[in-house]
Amino acid sequence: MRFALAIGTFLILFIHGVVLYNQFSHKWERHQIAYFDQARAQAKSDAERAALEDRKPRIEQTVVADFGETRVARCVTCHIASDDPRFSGYQQPLKTHPYSVAMGDVQKDGRWERRHKFSEFGCTVCHDGQGRGLSPEFAHGNDEFWPDPLLGYATQPTWRKDLVPMLRGKEYLEANCAQCHPGSEFKGTPTVNRGMQLFYASNCYGCHRIEGMSDGTIGPDLSEVGRKFKIDYIYARIKDPKSVLATSIMPRFNMLNDEDIKALVIFLKSRKGRNFSETEMERYHLRATGGAELVQAHIKPVAINPAQMVKQGEQLINDRACTACHKLGAKDGAIAPDLSFEGLIREPQWLDAHFRNPRSTMPDSIMPSFRFTEDEFKAMTAYLSGLRTAPPAPTPEATYKALCLRCHGEKGDGRGPIAEHLDPSPRDFTKAAFMNSKTMTRLVGSVRKGVAGTSMPAWGKLLDEQQATNLLGYIQTAFVKEARTDLKPHTVPETNPVPSSPESIKRGQATFVENCAGCHGKRGDGKGPNSLDILPKPRNLRNAFFLETVEDKRLFDSILYGVQGTAMPSWTDYGFDNNTVGDLVNFIRNLNPKPKGGQNAGTI
């Protein structure tokens, strides 16, 4: 035991020794001693030399209280020569901080004078990094936990290795320049300015909001993105959104090259919620006005020449990242429908209205409203209406693959590659109960006339009656897999026997709230609490375009006898009669004012 005691005691002494050694022989002391030696050798006068003789290594720091929270910058403890012009040829950390005209430094009588004095600004306000640290690893923010690593220089071990080369470079410092110099015309921040242009040119503003700059609502608000995220995250999110978040619906913008993404990242890194240059009043005004007019100011409109309309429309569609979501020829964003033969399936009026406000023709569309000019919309419509070449489809199977698969899926289960972005979701053909409970006439009608208010277009110009029937035959054998049987006729009134009146609507509403709201939602928008667990989703009863095409007869049928293959039960079993349903139908009709324009069924 005494031996063990001796060893233990020795160990304690030894560790104390190690700790003391670490404490009293810092690396920065060596840097400072080296600096004093070099400076002494270069000293021009004895007084200067004597002054250096007296200097002992110590922790040097700048405390800056002028920019946001108080910043402590101990960087000069190692970078002690940063303001000594004689050391411009030395290696880091003893290198002079470069002088630069671009940063406002001026040369007077052969001596440089800094515009941004270190004593006034500190270091981290431009460079980021951890000003309190004294070891390179922590001070430069190389540890994965520091939120602001040295911009453009430090990388952290958790960053994606293949992205690291793109995350270096002094351009990244511009993100911090923009904290005080936010103007989009400021010459010192060309990359931020380019990133801002790209933010508008690539239509990022359509989905994302940045306070005072844009008001998109589909994607996350990016007003403070630079404060919340490190550059590696922002870069990866733009480069390949799904690689960071599997559920992301953001498209991959393939037309952006690495330099473009870098510029966007630097621009976004400069968005920190607020910058040092703005006053409280400016901020208040910014918030009050939102920023819609700023978007308008930033998007450079293209002058449309009526003679060149179609060509210019094509150019616009290429330039403005439409194929980041849509498919057009070989380009495919894999998020939104195929536009390759748009002229055959949509009318110009519909296209024009859809461009201006996608939800004016399709109430649940996720397509953003873009702020293009009147003429631009016309040109784009003109181009798309001219795409009238149907894809070759010799057999029903080939037809299905060319026209239907993108939404309805390879297995016909309604889970095509873009299905998750469509609302209502594409029909699941494997639900035989549904398919076999609808008349052939209705199915052919859905194919040829489309389903109004949804992503299902009218295929009438591509498929005649016979072709549509053949296509449905293919679907029947390939996906439904159950033979059709004769349908039992349901007894439903041709038209609603209950005349619409405020009392009837009120009764209908009471019935609706009591029985239907669980799935269809209190507002009838199909988003009731149970809707999350149901596929296909409950119908949005506020989709006026859809409801306009649905006759009373079909509503009665669906309510009284249910919709087979879905969660909609047969309400006759719950005691509904024609009067109850009549009130309900009046209530539902009353939810939807007559739509203006939109997809009308009679345009074949």
Partner 1 sequence: MSKAADKTSILAAVKELPGNVWKSIFRNPLPTNDLERSSTSFTNFFLHIHPVKVHKNSLRPAYTLGLGLISFFLFVILIVTGILLMFYYVPSTSQAYDRMLDLRGTVAFGTILRNMHRWSAHGMVAMVFLHLCRVFLTGSYKKPREFNWVVGVILFLLTLGMSFTGYLLPWDQLAFWAITVGTAIAGYAPIIGKDIQFLLMGGTSVGQEALLRFYVLHVAVLPAILTLMIAIHFWRIRKDGGLSRPADADPTPPMEMMGASADPKPVQLEPRKTYGLQGLVRGPLTKVNNIPDNTVFSWPNLFLAELFVFIMTLSAILVLALLFNAPLEEPVNVMHPPNPAKAPWYFLGLQEMVSYSAFWGGIGVPGVFVGLLFITPYLDRSPKGVGKWFSRDRLLANTIFISFVLANVVFVIIGTFFRGPNWAFVTPW
Q: Residues in the site for partner 1, rule: CB under 8 A?
A: 1, 4-5, 8-9, 11-12, 15-16, 18-19, 23, 59, 69, 72, 74, 130, 132-135, 138-139, 145-147, 228
The two three-digit tokens of residue 216, written as one number: 């998109």
Q: Which residue's structure tokens are 């090259």? A: 257
At closest approach, how far in Å is the CB of 161 from partner 1? 21
HSE at residue 447, side-chain half, CA atoms within 13 A, is 23
Toward partner 1, which CB reaches closer, 227 or 442? 227
16/311 with CB nearer partner 1: 16
Q: Which is nearer to partner 1, 4 or 41 (CB)?
A: 4
Closest CA to 512 of 597, 584, 593: 584
Q: 518 — phi, psi (to 5°)?
A: -55, -40
* Closer residue to partner 1 (CB): 130 or 586: 130
As measured in angstroms, the least distance from the Cβ of 455 to partner 1 is: 31
The Cα–Cα gap between 367 and 359 comes to 8
Close Cβ partners of 176 (under 8 Å, ≥ 6 residues apart): 125, 126, 127, 128, 151, 270
Q: Measured over all CA atoms, what is the biggest interatomic distance in the chain, rounded to whole angstroms?
A: 113
**Residue 113 dihedral angles phi and psi, to the nearest 5°:** -125, 130
Cross-strand pairs, 72: 63
Q: How far is the CB of 74 from partner 1 (least distance, A)?
A: 7
CB of 208 to partner 1, least distance (A): 17
- Which two three-digit tokens encode residue 407? 């939404």
60 vs 83, beta carbon nearer partner 1: 60
Residue 27: CB minimum distance to partner 1, A: 12
To the nearest whole angstrom, how small is the minimum distance from the Cβ of residue 61 to partner 1? 9
Closer to partner 1 by Cβ: residue 142 or 540: 142
**Least distance in Å: CB of 206 to partner 1?**
24
Q: Residue 585 belongs to what H/E stretch?
A: helix 578-591
DSSP letter (8 states) at residue 229: S
For residue 186, give every residue at least 6 positions away whose Cβ sits within 8 Å of its Cβ, in sequence order, or none.
177, 178, 192, 193
Nearer to partner 1, 190 or 273 (CB): 273
Q: Residue 11 Cβ, how far from partner 1 at the closest point, in Å?
A: 4
Nearer to partner 1, 61 or 590 (CB): 61
What is the nearest approach in angstroms of partner 1 to the Cβ of residue 274? 16
Report the chain's terminal Cα–Cα distance, integer Å: 100
- Closer residue to partner 1 (CB): 145 or 574: 145
Nearest residue (CB) to partner 1, 77 versus 399: 77
- Closer to partner 1 at the Cβ: 148 or 548? 148
Six-digit token pair at 17? Answer: 């020794």
Cis upstream peptide for 426 (omega within 30°): no
Strand, helix or coil for residue 313: helix
CB of 172 to partner 1, least distance (A): 20
Nearest to 188 by CA among 71, 103, 77, 304: 103
- Minimum CB–partner distance for residue 52 and partner 1 (Å): 24
Burial 308-329 (b: 16+ CB within 10 A, else e): ebbebbbebbeebbbbbbbbbe
Residue whose CB is less far from partner 1, 272 or 406? 272
Structure tokens at 507: 């009764």
Look-up: residue for tokens 């403005």?
320
Minimum gap (Å) between residue 130 Cβ and partner 1: 7
Buried-exposed string 578-590: b where 16+ CB fall within 10 A, e elsewhere: bebbbbbbbbbbb
Question: Pseudo-torsion of CA 344, 348, 350, 355, nearest 10°?
Answer: 110
